[in-house]
Amino acid sequence: MNMFTTPKGQGIRLALVLIGSLLLSACGIFPGNLPPAPPSASTQDYSYVVGPGDNLNIIVWRNPELSLSVPVRPDGKFSTPLIDEMVVQGKNSVEIARDIEKLLGKYVRDPVVTVIVTGFVGPYDQQIRVVGEAAKPQVLAYKQKMTVLDVMIAVGGLTDFAAGNDATILRTADGNKQYAVRLKDLVKRGDISANVEMKPGDILIIPQSFF
């Protein structure tokens, strides 16, 4: 049993399907009027930044008693015995390590800190959201070079009621511009030419077929 087969999970799935329908109707735009999504999303300069739910392994050289693993709280902060609170959401591991060194410098001479991120949830505004007629609508952590095929594998493909070739990507990084994607051709027919790269913050909307 997975989270979408329980009564609560079915409610979550229905909510995501309804959100997808509302997004399409609110925009008043249909795939036939939209440009196709560009094959490349141009994310070469992408650098992972920390978000709530990530875990940080903090290593303080020559001070093993200060080395520990801490979760990032929902408010984007973490705490340690010597650090009451530090905001880490939106920063990369190097920036966080330098900030920790500054704070530990009050107690330790010339601290050298390394931060390793695990968990990889990421900030909410960089997560990939899949709504509508996916087998398992859900939120995914963005990964560099992630494609719509990777996303469809993660959500279990399309439902029997999906209008896959009418799907769209709402790209928040481009000012909420919408692009058409041919998910049926990609998933059902194996047409790799329909595969495109995702960008952080993309929302994949899969409408229901009425035929």
Q: Give me the tens of pLDDT residue by residue for the chain, a chain 211 residues long.
A: 544 455 555 555 555 555 555 554 444 445 668 999 998 877 777 889 999 999 999 999 999 999 999 999 999 999 999 999 999 999 999 999 999 999 999 999 999 999 999 989 999 999 999 999 999 999 999 999 999 999 999 999 999 999 999 999 999 999 999 999 999 999 999 999 999 999 999 999 999 998 6
- Tell me, yes or no, whether 173 lies in a domain: yes
**Residue 142 shares a structural domain with residue 93:** no
**Residue 103 shares a structural domain with residue 132:** no
Up-side HSE of residue 180: CA atoms within 13 Å toward CB? 14
- Tell me, yes or no, whether 11 lies in a domain: no
- Tell me, yes or no, whether 27 lies in a domain: no
Residue where one domain finishes, among candidates 70, 102, 118: 118
- Of 166, 155, 168, nearest to 196 by C-alpha is 168
**Residue 136 shares a structural domain with residue 201:** yes
Domain hosting 114: range is 55-118
- Tell me, yes or no, whether 15 lies in a domain: no
Q: Supply the CATH number for residue 129's domain.
A: 3.10.560.10
Q: What is the spatial distance between Cα 28 and Cα 31, in angstroms, rounded to a whole number?
A: 10
**Residue 66 shares a structural domain with residue 104:** yes
**Residue 82 shares a structural domain with residue 185:** no
**Residue 168 shares a structural domain with residue 133:** yes
Q: What is the spatial distance between Cα 149 and Cα 158, in angstroms, rounded to a whole number?
A: 11
Q: Is the dihedral of CA 105, 111, 117, 122 positive or negative?
A: positive
- Tell me, yes or no, whether 7 lies in a domain: no
Residue where one domain finishes, among candidates 72, 99, 118: 118
Q: What is the 3-state secondary structure (H, E, C) of the chain?
A: CCCCCCHHHHHHHHHHHHHHHHHHHHHCCCHHHCCECCCCCCCCCCCCCCCCCCEEEEEECCCHHHCEEEECCCCCEEEECCEEEEECCCCCHHHHHHHHHHHHCCCCCCCCEEEEEECCCCCHHHCEEEEECECCCCEECCCCCCEHHHHHHHCCCECCCECHHHEEEEEHHHCCEEEEECHHHHHCCCCHHHCCECCCCCEEEECECCC
**Residue 103 shares a structural domain with residue 130:** no
pTM: 0.79
Q: Supply the CATH number for residue 86's domain.
A: 3.30.1950.10
**Residue 150 shares a structural domain with residue 101:** no
**Residue 135 shares a structural domain with residue 176:** yes
- CA 19-24-26 angle, to 5 degrees, is 90
Q: Is the dihedral of CA 42, 45, 49, 54 positive or negative?
A: positive
Q: What is the spatial distance between Cα 53 and Cα 72, in angstroms, rounded to a whole number?
A: 5
**Residue 39 shares a structural domain with residue 137:** yes
**Residue 152 shares a structural domain with residue 88:** no
Q: For 78, phi and psi rounded to 5 degrees? A: -140, 165
- Tell me, yes or no, whether 8 lies in a domain: no
Q: What is the spatial distance between Cα 95 and Cα 88, in angstroms, rounded to a whole number?
A: 9
Number of domains making up the chain: 2
- Tell me, yes or no, whether 164 lies in a domain: yes
- Tell me, yes or no, whether 197 lies in a domain: yes
